[in-house]
Structure 1
Amino acid sequence: MIGLAGTQILLRNLWDASIGWGDPLLRVTVMWVGLLGAMAASRDDNHITIDLVSRLLEGRAKSVTRIITGLFSSVVCLALAWHGMRFVLFEREDQAIAFASVPAWMCELIIPVAFGIMALRFLTGVLAQLVPAAPGEP
C-alpha cells in the first residue's frame, strides 16, 4: 500500500501522470484493512471506547454500564451491517466498477460482513456479562 501510494505521488509530482487504478485500489485496501482491524479489535475487546464513566464506577454499576454500551454498540453495528448490505446489493444491481474490471460490490462486501461480525461480538460480550461464569472459569 505504501509503495503504491508513494509511486502515485512521485508520478503525479514528477511526470504529471499516475496509475489509473492506483487510487481506487488504495481506497479499497484502506477500507478492508480498517474493517479487518476493527473486527480483530472487537474480538479482543480492544476496540475504541469512551470509558470516562466506567472508570468512575465499580461493581454492579460498572457491569450495567458495560451491558448498556454493548447493546448500543451491537444495535449500531447491526444497522450498519443492514444498510451496508443494501448498499452492496445496490452496487451489484448498478454494475459499478471499482477499478480495472473488479465490480465495486465485491470490494464493498466487507462492510456488511465486518459490521455483522462486530455486532455478534458485542452481543456475545453482553451475554457474557449477563450469564455468570461457572466456578473455576474466568
Structure 2
Amino acid sequence: MQHEEAWARYFLSFESLLTKAAVAFATAGLALASLIGLYQIIARFVLHRSAEWSEPLIQMTLIWMTYLGLAAAMRSGTLISVDWLLSLSKGRARQVIQIVILVCVLTLLGFLTWFGISLAMRVKFQTIAGLGISTSWAYAALPFGAVISIFAAIAHVIDPRSNIDHQTQNT
C-alpha cells in the first residue's frame, strides 16, 4: 500500500510540474499572440507596412496555447465529464463512472496523439507562408498537448480537484 501511495505521490508531483509548465507556456502564448496582434495593427495602420509574418505566427501561437491549455482543463476535470451522473452517484458507482470517463478521455487523447503525429509527419516538407518554417511545428501542438493532457487526466482521477468532486464528497 505504501508503495502505491509513494508512486501516486511521485506521479502527481511530476504531473503538477508538467501541467504548471504547460499552463505557463499557454499563458505566454496568449500574451505573445496579443502582442503580435497589436504590432500587426500598428504596422498596418500607423507605419503603413505589411507584417505578413504576423498572422501565421498568431495562428500558430493560438494553436499551441489551446493544446497546452488543454492539460489544465483535464487536470480540473472540466473538459469532458458527466457532471450530472457524478453528482447522482456515490461509492462504487461513482468510481466506475470516473473510470469510464477516464477511458473515454484517454481514447480521445490517444487518437489526438496518433493523428497529430501522423499529420505532422505528412506536412513536414510544407512551409508556413510568411514564416518560412515547417508546417509540422504548428501540427506538433496536437500530440504534444495530448500527451501532457494524458498525465493530467490520470492525475485528476488519482487526485480530483474539480468543484463537482468536492461538492459530492462533502455531502
User: Structure 1 length normalisation: TM-score?
Assistant: 0.74
Q: Which runs of 5+ in 1 are unaligned?
A: 130-138
Identity of aligned residues (%): 21
Alignment of 1:96 onto 2:126? yes
Aligned residue type for 2:127: I
Aligned residue type for 1:69: I
Match of 1:55 in 2: 87
Match of 2:35 in 1: 3
Alignment length (residue pairs) = 125
CA RMSD of aligned residues (A): 2.5
Match of 2:146 in 1: 115
Q: Distance in 2 between matches of 1:67 and 1:87?
A: 29
* CA offsets 1:109-128 (integer angstroms, 9 cap, x no match): 121122133235435666x4
Q: Distance in 1 between matches of 2:155 and 2:107?
A: 13
Answer whether contact 1:82 1:112 (CA < 8 A) is retained.
Answer: yes
* CA offsets 1:57-85 (integer angstroms, 9 cap, x no match): 11111111000000000001101111111
Q: Distance in 2 between matches of 1:14 and 1:56?
A: 58
Aligned with 1:29 (options 42, 56, 61): 61
The structure that is helix-richer by fraction is: 2
Superposition misfits of 4+ residues, deviation over 6 angstroms: none
Q: Which runs of 5+ in 2 are unaligned?
A: 1-32, 160-171
User: Structure 2 length normalisation: TM-score?
Assistant: 0.62
More off after superposition, 73-82 vs 52-61: 52-61
* CA offsets 1:80-132 (integer angstroms, 9 cap, x no match): 1111111001001xx11124221111232121122133235435666x49xxx
Answer whether contact 1:96 1:104 (CA < 8 A) is retained.
Answer: yes
